[in-house]
A and B are shown apart, each in its own frame.
Chain A
Amino acid sequence: MKKKLLATLLFSACVLLPTVTPAEELHIRIDSDAAADGTRIVVAPFGPLAKVIEADLQRSGRFALIDPARAAGMSPDALRAAGAQYAVVGTQSSSLDFQLIDVGSGQPVGSFRIPAHPNQRRMAHKAADLVFEKITGVKGAFDTRIAYVSASGPARGQTFQLIVSDADGFNPRTIASSRQPVMSPSWSPDGRQLAYVSYESGRPMVYVQDLASGGKRAVSDPGKSTTSPAWSPDGRSLAVSVANRGDYDIFVVGANGGGMRQITNSRGIDTEPQWAGANTIVFTSDRGGQPQLYQTTASGGGESRMSFNGSYNAGASIAGNNVAMVRQNGGSSNITVMNAASHEERVVSRGTQDDSPAIAPNGTMVLYATDGGSRGSLAVASDNGKAHQILYSQAGDVRDPAWSPYLD
């Protein structure tokens, strides 16, 4: 029944968006959601979207979901007997109307209405965002999207697809397809455009594509290999890495192309720029011999190293003070999240070859690529390491994820 519903939702999404191609759906395998010490919450079974809210809260690693059957009728006594601290009760018609109840006081913490939306799952994600924010004080990031690359076919003869989906992997659609590599998607701050790298011209170049129209423009110099686009917070510029005889440096270019200016000029590789606010760019450099994270001002100058533990740190993804990075250690690589203020670090990934971290806009979850056996998969981990899911495709290898900003 659930599958049928999802299929219907998927189908209607496709009908509504005729300019894009539906892509192979990601399948979800939950490794763990055992946030036993998390906030105990029960979501009343008021309709199919209740399950989507449950899944979102679970993925955050901050909640212990209680089976609603243990609090039948959702009476205050039943909720207390089930050990719930909070309950979500509501009704689903064309809109989604719900209340968040503090079981201890028996009082509603808030009453909400999510208006009808053609992608019904988004209504549930919006509801989960409100619940998350009310309880944790942190804005929810469930109603967001992700972009990732799928590769299928034989070695040396793969087809590359750039895919956009909801943050939980549903409603995937292919926005670009090529026999040449496609990589490094980056979301514009308004969530309407993607910058990415394509080898379609014979060398890596940066393109910006409008998601609604599909229109695409090259923003990098055709004569120079250019990689790793990252949108500035104001949406006007992209930080990129530009090659000069194998020596990559960080540049900033206008989002419409033009105005290319050099930010770093070191011997060695400077790549993978990311913005940390409007005035700071964090990047990977091997100027010290091995790749490490460095930071500089957005106008250039004032460079300093910011990763010190481990001999290989690269590929930063930043939200607030949380900096996710790839750390290679011996033969394996994992995703580490560092708090830039306290320098506290935590390994959040569980594979042996993990890379390409993409942190949620609220910093509470990290999406990354993992080898997942024979096929590459995506995985999502809560920043506290307690919840962990694998998102895999039966159509091919999936990798190189990017997490969208908050959406309207």
Chain B
Amino acid sequence: MNMKTILAYLLVSAFLVTGCSQQGGNPNGAGGAGGAGGAGGYGSNNGYGYGNGGNYGAGNGSSQYTPADLRNPNSVLAQRVIYFDLDSSNIRPEYQSVLDAHSSLLAAYPNLKVRLEGHADERGSREYNVALSERRGYSVLDYMQIKGVSSNSMEVIGYGEEIPAVFGHNESAWGKNRRVEIKYAGE
């Protein structure tokens, strides 16, 4: 576990203590976070609890998700990567539900920030791929902006083919590398 991960855990558990004490005190527990996500009461939240923490700001009550759901491995918010077709920056229909969930959370908690990190497979020209991967990032940004997320909550970086998720010179590897990763600040 690296330093950032530890910090993220500490941060989130601090919210759990202030905002929903029944779930606090379990800094390592994915199980504890799962419980928070499963608690239906937060679905109709009016911004209590997290607003007091001050870091995420008050929710506007419009989302069925809360920042705690980011730690829930069973939440749709656990899906942070979407994949693209060759030479394409179009959002594939199967990823709309994932982006809708993140959009809902981000729209409700405007102090949450994400980096949309675009990537390309190894084929084609290296610098062109940086631009192509950034275009993928902006296609996610545009989608989420339409869904109500402020552009101030999002930042796009294109990494081109420089950081492959997996090594390999075949369609299986290429498909896993043509992607946008949603990175929440502080994680």
Contact = CB atoms under 8 A, between A and B. Distances in A.
Nearest to B115: A202
Contacts, number: 100
Contact of A326 (B122, B124, B159): B124
Interface residues of B, number: 27
B4 interface: no
Contacts of B160: 181, 183
Given A156-B165, A269-B135, A353 B123 contact: yes
B138 A245 contact: yes
B157 A203 contact: yes
Interface residues of A, number: 39
Interface string A183-199: 11000000000000001
A84 interface: no
A155 B169 contact: no
Contacts of A312: 124
B88 to A, nearest CB: 12
Given A243-B134, A245-B138, A246-B156, A158 B128 contact: no
Contacts of A227: 127, 130-131
A355 B135 contact: no
A364 interface: no
A158 B163 contact: yes
Interface string B143-187: 000000000000011111011111101000000000000000000
Contacts of B158: 204, 225, 243, 246
Pick the most buried of B126, B134, B157, B162: most chain A CB atoms within 10 A of its CB. Answer: B126
A184 B126 contact: yes
Contacts of B131: 227, 241, 243, 246, 248, 269, 271
Listed from nearest, the 8 A-B pairs whose CB atoms lie closest are: A181-B162, A314-B125, A246-B138, A315-B125, A269-B131, A246-B135, A228-B127, A248-B131
Interface of A: 155-156, 158, 160, 181, 183-184, 199, 202-204, 225, 227-228, 241, 243, 245-246, 248, 269, 271-272, 284, 286, 291, 312, 314-315, 326, 328, 333, 352-353, 355-356, 371, 374, 399-400
